[in-house]
């Protein structure tokens, strides 16, 4: 594993982002500004331009700015009940960032938006492939398209991270976030049914939440076990389904279920059990949103505030070609770089993507 030093010009640009309190890097915003296919490309372009010229003196100011963008986009495309869930997430993340509640706690709010931006760039570049892998039939309806499934999966995937194994959080007004759900059995069976449908190569647009005949018992068992352990991936997926049912008169459209399935399996803790059940590795042509979320979540280490930590990490390059996505990440220390490379290697073993390769390289010498 070869780790090189960061060139001076890249270090200067990353320093400028940091000095202006921006955690979403200029290099990613530039890629966003060139989106051409996904339906909300204009929304992302406008925000990238606005954010790139902003300066934030406090983390709370940046959280409010990012929240405003996400709330408006989700409300316009999916409805207010889903968008409304973001405020509690933002508030709890600020609590975790401002108080010494957990050692080495990293930001998960701006992180989710960074995942969303990175995945949108990848999705846009390979749009014909992702559209075909997902469902051409559903993509004919803008509100159920592959990019809408990606929006929900990425923005909500860590919604319950701040309350994982912390029942005491959420007692104050505006901080309530439940960690148990009355319809958990229904949820577990339906997501396992969706997995079974996609794994068998059946058409997504013909699947219906609540009308399953077959489901994958191994996945249902694993998700059930990690629900009891209050795993934030499973809790976040359940929370999304509950919000969706309120938004769609008790129904769960397929694009929302796809997002929930991706969220439920993105976290590293269930990975060993999912592999033992033969669920991992996932094929990207059967599970494009699940694979994209795992990839982006593993790559995205840059610009994540740490409570009471001076460590910093920044994205220094993104390269896209006809068969590859490559990210270069700059670290302060070699130790941090090696740990991230190992994590990315473990995620690559969880997916099968023969037509698009995903890779990450590291640079050190980042001084902020």
**Three-state DSSP class for residue 330:** strand
Task: Give residue-wise pLDDT tens across range 80-137.
Answer: 989 998 998 898 888 877 765 555 678 899 999 999 999 999 999 999 999 999 999 9
Rounded to 10°, the helix 184-199/232-247 angle is: 100
Q: Is 269 in contact with 226 (CB distance < 8 Å)? A: yes
Q: Rounded distance, CA 258 to CA 276, Å? A: 22
Max mean pLDDT among 118-122, 225-229, 301-305 falls in 118-122
pLDDT computed for residue 368 by the predictor = 46
Give yes or no for a contact between 318 and 327, defined as CB atoms under 8 angstroms apart.
yes
**pLDDT at position 232:** 93
186 forms beta bridges with none
pLDDT in tens, 232-275: 999 999 999 999 988 888 899 999 999 999 999 999 999 999 99
Number of structural domains, the chain?
1
Rounded to the nearest integer, the mean pLDDT of the chain is: 89
Task: Work out the pLDDT band at 310, boundaries 50, 70, 90.
Answer: very low
Q: Which domain holds residue 325?
A: 4-364
Residue 21 C-alpha from the chain's centroid: 22
**What's the pLDDT band for 308 if we cut at 50, 70, 90?**
very low
289, 133 in Cβ contact below 8 A?
A: no
> Residue 3 above 90 pLDDT?
no
For residue 260, the model assigns a pLDDT of 98
**Band (311; pLDDT cuts 50, 70, 90):** low
CA distance from start to end of the chain = 25
Phi, psi of 107 (to 5 degrees): -60, 140
Q: What is the pTM of this model?
A: 0.93
Strand order in the sheet with 4-5: 4-5, 357-364, 324-331, 313-321
* pLDDT tier at 182, thresholds 50, 70, 90: confident
Residue 160 above 80 pLDDT?
Answer: yes
Q: What's the whole-number mean pLDDT along residues 310-333?
A: 86
Q: Is pLDDT above 80 for 284?
A: yes
Query: So what's the pLDDT on residue 339?
Result: 83
Residue 53 CA neighbour count, 13 Å, CB half: 5
167 upstream amide cis, omega within 30 of 0? no
Rounded-to-10 torsion of CA 272, 274, 275, 280: -130
Distance of CA 337 to the CA centre of its chain: 21
- Which band of pLDDT confidence, cut at 50, 70 and 90, is reported for residue 290? very high
Task: Say which range, 10-24, 25-39, 128-142, 273-287, has the weakest mean pLDDT.
Answer: 10-24
pLDDT at 336: 80
Q: Where do runs of H (alpha helix) occur along the chain?
A: 8-19, 26-32, 41-52, 59-78, 80-83, 85-98, 110-125, 127-134, 136-139, 146-156, 184-199, 217-228, 232-247, 254-264, 271-276, 288-299, 334-348
């Amino acid at each position: 594993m070869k780790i090189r030093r960061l060139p001076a010009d890249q270090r200067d640009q990353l320093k400028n982002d940091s000095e202006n309190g921006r955690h979403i890097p200029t290099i990613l915003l530039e890629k966003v500004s060139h989106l051409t296919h996904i339906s909300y490309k204009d929304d992302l372009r406008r925000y990238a331009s606005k954010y790139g010229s902003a300066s934030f003196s406090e983390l709370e100011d940046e959280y409010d700015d990012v929240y405003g963008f996400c709330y408006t986009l989700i409300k316009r495309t999916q409805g207010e009940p889903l968008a409304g869930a973001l405020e509690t997430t933002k508030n709890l993340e600020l609590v975790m960032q401002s108080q010494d509640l957990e050692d080495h706690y990293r930001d998960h709010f701006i992180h989710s938006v960074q995942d969303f931006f990175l995945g949108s760039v990848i999705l846009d570049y390979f749009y014909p492939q992702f559209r075909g892998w997902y469902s051409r039939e559903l993509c004919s309806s803008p509100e159920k398209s592959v990019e809408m499934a990606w929006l929900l999966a990425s923005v909500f995937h860590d919604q319950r991270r701040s309350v994982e194994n912390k029942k005491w959080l959420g007692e104050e007004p505006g901080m309530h976030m439940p960690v148990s759900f009355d319809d958990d059995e229904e949820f577990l069976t339906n997501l396992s049914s969706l997995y079974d449908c996609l794994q068998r190569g059946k058409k997504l647009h013909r699947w219906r939440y609540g009308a399953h005949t077959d489901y994958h018992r191994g996945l249902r068992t694993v998700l059930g076990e990690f629900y009891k352990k209050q795993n934030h991936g499973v809790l976040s997926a359940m929370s999304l389904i509950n919000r969706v049912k309120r938004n769609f008169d008790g129904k769960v459209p397929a694009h929302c279920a796809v997002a929930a399935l991706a969220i439920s399996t993105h976290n590293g803790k269930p990975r060993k059990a999912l592999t033992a059940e033969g669920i991992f590795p996932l094929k990207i042509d059967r599970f494009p949103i699940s694979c994209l979320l795992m990839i982006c979540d593993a790559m995205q280490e840059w610009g994540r505030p740490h409570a009471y930590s001076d460590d910093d990490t920044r994205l220094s390059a993104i390269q896209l070609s006809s068969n590859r996505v490559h990210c270069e990440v700059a670290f302060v220390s070699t130790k941090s770089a090696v740990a991230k490379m190992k994590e990315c290697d473990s995620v690559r073993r969880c997916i099968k993507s023969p037509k698009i390769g995903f890779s990450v390289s590291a640079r050190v010498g980042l001084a902020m």
